Structures are given as structure tokens and as C-alpha cells.
Amino acid sequence: MCNCATLVVALVLAVVFCKDSTNAFAKPRRLPAAFLLRHLNHDGRKRHLKTEVRTAGPSLLHALSTAPSPLSTKASQSLLANELRGIVGADSVEENVQMRGYRGGKGTADILSKPSTLTEAAVALSACAKAGVAVLLQGANTGLTGGSVPNGETDERMRVVLNLRRLSESAQVDGGQRVLCHAGMGITSLAKVRKGPAFTERALYCAVESDFTVRVVNSLGIEGIPDGEWQLEEGGLEVIEKVEDIAGRSFQTDPGCRLLASDTTYGRRLAHLDGELSRYNADTRGPRFSRSEGKVLILASVHDTFPEPLSARTLWVSVDSLSRAHALKDHLLGAERAVQKKSGGRLKMPKETPLLLPSSIEYMNADTVDTTDEVARFSLQVINQLGLYNDALRQLFGVKAWFESLPFPGALQLPNKILSFISPLFPPPLASEVEDLRKSFSHHLLIDLGDYGHKEDEQLQDRILSFVEEENAKAEEEGRGPAAGIYESVSSDESKQLAIFRFVAAAAFQMWADVQGACTLSLDYALPKNEEAEPPLPVKALRRLRYAHYGCNVVHDDIAFPASAEKDIKKIKAEIRKTVEEMGGRLPSEHGHGTEYEAPPDTQARWRDLDPTNTFLPGLGGLPKTPFYRGTA
């Protein structure tokens, strides 16, 4: 029923209703740095204040930290908004914008600014810093923990959102072995350039100093672009300009650069199902900007790319218990452990040594599969038809977000209710063989295998098949039903559809909850790699969608409770967090702390050091919302 005509109508609606919302993706203006530099010290009073801060020492800084912001009136807001218009363009600045987070959080941005170049972003930040306002950095506004939008009242300061989505250029480095990305590249764009593991030590970023000046730090390690630190007005802007227009260009790593562009031993460490965590957000290892969560303005970064497989296959494996799912993972990762054993147990091995790991292992419980099938069939059809990386799809999401922000009761839930209502009109998204597995088992693994030159996919598939056969033989001997089942996708198109099915799970949860009027709690956490159990809930849930990056044991836990549980939701969350930590886990793992999670003291101290004035995202991770973190020791 979802034919091309349906999609054409949807796209026409997207263009008509989302005309203004797509302005964020308009072609960037290019203004010379000399023009923008004039905006850095346009205000004589502010320039004088900056000089005083530099010469008067801590006493004046203390006075500033206890004085109310001079830019807290509507007249002051208008002045700053006009200054930002001069920097990023009149059509890229809005005032008094009502904003909602993807899953939670809402508030008013006094000013929303959408810079189109790295230079504009840095100069806009400088103007905001000198004005003494609070700055929130925003990408696609898909954050789940309240860090993407103003969330309630902060303090006496105005709140300015810098949306970086237009900073979306990329360029090859070292002939494609690495990629240089601007800060606004989304997940779909990154997939196109085959960006590798997210960790990197190579970045260009801006930090706000204790005197409200902006410091530029470059560790990109690019030949011809100096690494180091500068004040924005004293060499920093020139460095940023060198990373500005990169589309169609290629770069080389500086011969003296020894910084990593990925965690090169991450995959090899995953093979060991020990008591360690694979990754979590409060980890303070690595360079200062790493896991800074918006406490500095990252403009660009360099990442290793990953090779595309010569061939690929996707398996849907269903099992009867979490313990058996864990046993399968252990058996599968044993292939890589054997490789390491032959090499003397070393994690760093020659590049030609095959990495005998699946490309990915994704876990879904029964509620995840059932709910996605129940309410997201139309969404799956549209995404399958358009493709996950289609710009038209982004416009459709823009239409939905625009409608949800309309100021009438129920606007936020209405699109999801409509999508859920029409879902049964569309055919089942899964093959009949997968449907049979879904009805017979409660735990499902979506495993992607690739041949990277050593027939890795065949070796790993043989291990999976042998595991399934052995477990079913044991079950038959014991008089039980089958313990596991397996299905191999028949085409690359079907493999993509299975991946999209997993991708839509988070949206499906919100659709279902909106229809039911349920109280929701969304968590993500890392469990030790050898942990197979799920954290028990303190109260009974209506549904629990638990899906995970299973190789890493990083879990997304979307839980729906009766509406009556709303009053106790913070207590419930605290109890679940305590349970996760007692199991050796940490949360959050993949999402930021935002305003929903309190960060550990060492992480908070790291953020204070990065942002001494508390300009960026006041209230992050349980930190105070006041300038200079006023009111705390």
C-alpha cells in the first residue's frame, strides 16, 4: 500500500510545510575573517571590561562571578541578536524560540543562531562569551538527556543556542585512510564517508577562558596547518580558516603527528568477556576535548575510516534466554581470542592480521521486536523506500518536528498517534522465516558479517551454525524445544531492511507510549562485558524495550510505566541506576549526561577546568547553573 504516489505526496508536504525548517541546510555564506574579526571587540565597554579582567586579578573575577549578567533585558537581547545577525546572517538568527528535546526537556532559547562556517561559529561564540550569556551547542537535536535544548530556568543569563548542523563538510586525509569532519556531520553523512570508531585525539576546538576570551586549540595533525593554542583574535581565526573550505580537497597527516584517530585496540579488547566496561561517557581518559559534552566548541576532528567488506551477509539469530545469547557471543568472539593467542596475546598486531569479529552484533528483546512491528510499519516502509541516507527523509523528520512544536494541546503526541494508527494497514516488515523465529523465541541477535580479505564471514558463520546445532541437539536430548534458530538474509536489500528495523526501535517506543499515554523512562548504560543478566525493575512495567550494541554490552533500556508512576519516576530511575552500578555498570554510556544524569566528581572537575566561566550548557551533569559555578566550593 505504500507506493511511490504515497511517497511523492509525503515529499510535497515536506517541502510545503518545512520550507522554513530546512533553512538550516541552505548553502553557506562565505564571509572573510577580516570582516568577522571586527565583531570580536565591537563594544567599547566590553573591551574595557576584558582589559580590566586581565589586569585586576582574582578580585575582579570574583566580583564578575557574583554580579548579575549585564545582558539580561529584552533590549540587551536585541543588541546581541543584531550582532549575531551581522556575523551569521539575518536569516540565520531567531529570537524567543520554543524548543523541545527529542525525548524530553523543553524551554525557550532567547536566541537561536545557525552559523554556516567554522569561522562564523567561532566568532559567534566569542560574541556570546563577551555578552555573558549561557551557550548551548546543538546538532540535530536528537539528544535524549536534555542537553540539546534550554531546559527550564538557568539563571539570570540569557540562553543562546548555536545550532551547528550546517557545518557538514568533510575531506579525505591520507588518501581516504582517515577523514576530516566538520562538527555538524550527522550519523547518515558519516556513514557515507565510512567514519570509523568515534574516539580520536585529533580535533580543532574553541574554549572560553576565565576572562571570557576564546582560545583556539588545534591538534588535527594536518600537514600545513599548525597545531597549538592561540587566542581567537591573535592567530586562532587564521588557523580556523585553513580548515574552512575543505569540500573536494585532500589532506595529509603531518609526519610528526603521533596522535590517534581511533581507538586502535578497541575491537581486539572486545573479544575478552572480562569484567571491564567497553566504553562509558564518564570515562576521563583521553584528551581534554574527549567526552566534553558541549563544554567546548568542537569545530572539526579527524577519524580513521573503516574498509568496506568485499562481501557481507546478515544473520538473524533467535535464542530462548539471555544466558544462551551470551554464550553465543562468547563462542563467536572466541575466534578472535584464538588469533590473539597465536600472536602471543598481543592486542597491537600487524595490519595484515585479520580481525575475526562480526561487523556488528545488535540485540533486541521480544518487546522491542513486537512493538516495532506493531506501531512502526509505515515508518519502516517510508525509510526503506527513500533510504536511510536520503535528504528527503531528513525533511520528513523536520516536518514531524515542526508539527510537534506547534502551540496547541496534544501536538507533541499527535503525529506518533497517527503513525501508530495507520501502521496495521501495511504489510509485516519481516520475512516469514523471521516471523516464525519471533514467535518462538524471546531474544534476538542481528549479526552482520563481512569478508575483509580473509574469508572472515565464512569462518564466523560456521561458528554460529555449529553453536545453534549443538544447542539444539542438547535441547532435543533433554526433551526440550529448540534452543535457537537462525535465518540468513537473502539479499543486500533485505539486510538493510533488517538494520532499519533495529534503527527504528527507539522511535517505535515513543509512538507506542504516546498512544497508551504511558509514563516513560529511557536509559542507556554499559554493563561489564561478562555480564549476561538484565537489571531487574523496582516496579512492574507496561513494556520494556531493551536493545543493545551487544558486542560492547552497551544497552538502551526504554521502559513504559502506567501514567500514575509519573510522580515516582525519579525514584524509580535512581533505583535502577543503583542496580546497574551494583552490577558493575555505568550510566550513561552512549548518550550524554545532559541535565538528566549527575556525573561523577572527577568528570565534573574535568568540565569545570574546560569551562571555568560555566558559559556552556549550565547544569550539565549536576553542575550548578550559575556563572563561575557560583554558590559551590
- Give the CATH number for residue 289: 3.30.43.10
In a domain, 489, yes or no: no
Q: How far apart are CA 4 and CA 7, in angstroms?
A: 5
Residue 11 belongs to a domain: no
Residue 399 in any domain: the answer is no
What is the model's pLDDT at position 199? Answer: 85
Q: Domain residues for 67?
A: 31-306+593-633
In sequence order, the 6+-apart residues with CB closer than 8 A to the CB of 564 are 519
Range with lowest mean pLDDT among 144-148, 165-169, 357-361, 443-447: 144-148
**Residue 49 forms part of a structural domain:** yes
Q: Where are the beta strands (DSSP E) in 39-182?
A: 93-100, 106-113, 134-138, 159-163, 170-173, 178-182
Q: Where does the pLDDT of residue 146 fall: very low under 50, low under 70, confident under 90, or very high at 90 and above?
A: low
The C-alpha atoms of residue 52 and residue 62 are separated, in whole angstroms, by 13
Residue where the block lists cell 536489500: 493
Mean pLDDT of the chain: 84
121 part of a folded domain = yes
Give the span between the Cα atoms of 22 and 182, in whole angstroms: 19
364-372 mean pLDDT:
98
Which pLDDT value is given to residue 147?
Answer: 63
pLDDT digit string (tens) for 334-352? 999 998 888 777 777 776 6
Q: Which triple of cell numbers denotes residue 190?
A: 558519516
User: What pLDDT is attached to residue 48?
Assistant: 31
- Written as one letter, the residue type at 327 is A
The string of pLDDT tens digits covering residues 404-421 is 778 788 888 898 899 999
561 and 632, same domain (yes or no): no
Residue 320 falls inside a structural domain: no
Residue 154 has pLDDT above 90, yes or no: no
Residue 488 has which C-alpha cell? 540468513
Find, among 378, 346, 173, 212, the residue nearest to 271 by Cα. 346
Query: Can you say how many angstroms the Cα of residue 608 is from the centroid of all Cα atoms in its chain?
Result: 22
Exposure string of 280-304, with b = 16+ CB inside 10 Å and e = fewer, is bbbbeeebbbbbbbbbbbbbbbbbb
For residues 582 and 604, state if they share a domain.
no
Average confidence (pLDDT) over 608-628: 93
Would residue 372 count as lying in a domain?
A: no
Q: Same domain, yes or no, for 172 and 65? A: yes
Q: Which three cell numbers stand for residue 544?
A: 520494556
**Strand 170-173 relative to strand 159-163, pairing:** unpaired
Lowest mean pLDDT among 58-72, 225-239, 576-590: 58-72
Q: Are residues 230 and 125 in the same domain?
A: yes
Least confident of 3-17, 457-471, 486-500: 3-17
Residues 523 and 627 both lie in one domain: no
* pLDDT > 70? residue 456: yes
Q: Are residues 83 and 192 in the same domain?
A: yes
Residue 351 placed within a domain: no
Average pLDDT (261-280) is 91
Structurally, how many domains does the chain consist of? Answer: 2
- Mean pLDDT score, 56-84: 55
Q: Could you report the per-residue pLDDT of 536-585, keeping only the tens digit for each?
A: 999 999 999 999 999 999 999 999 999 999 999 999 999 999 999 999 99
The one-letter amino acid at 609: D
Q: What is the pLDDT of residue 63?
A: 28
19 Cβ partners below 8 Å, 6+ apart?
none
Among 42-46, 382-386, 418-422, 540-544, the range of highest mean pLDDT = 540-544
More confident residue, 151 or 560: 560
Are both 605 and 581 inside the same structural domain? no
> What's the pLDDT at 155?
63
228 shares a domain with 188: yes
237 and 282 assigned to the same domain? yes
CB-based contacts of 398, cutoff 8 Å, min separation 6 = 14, 18, 21, 22
Radius of gyration of the chain (CA): 25
Question: For residue 379, what pLDDT is reported?
Answer: 93
Instruction: List Cβ neighbours of 128 (8 Å cut-off, separation of 6 or more).
Output: 80, 84, 135, 160, 162, 615
Average pLDDT over residues 125-139: 93
Strand, coil or helix: 322: helix
Write the CB contacts of 429 (distance below 8 Å, at least 6 apart in sequence).
372, 373, 376, 377, 380, 381, 384, 497, 501
Greatest mean pLDDT among 15-19, 133-137, 292-296: 133-137
Q: Which pLDDT value is given to residue 9? A: 37
Residue 536: CB atoms within 10 A of its CB come to 8
Q: What is the CATH number of the domain that holds 571?
A: 3.30.70.2740
Residues 570 and 630 in one domain: no
Percent of the chain whose predicted confidence (pLDDT) is above 70: 82
Q: How far apart are CA 312 and CA 333, in angstroms?
A: 18
Looking at the structure, tell me whether residues 229 and 210 fall in a common domain.
Answer: yes
Q: Between 152 and 246, whose confidence is greater?
A: 246
* Whether residue 611 sits in one domain with residue 575: no
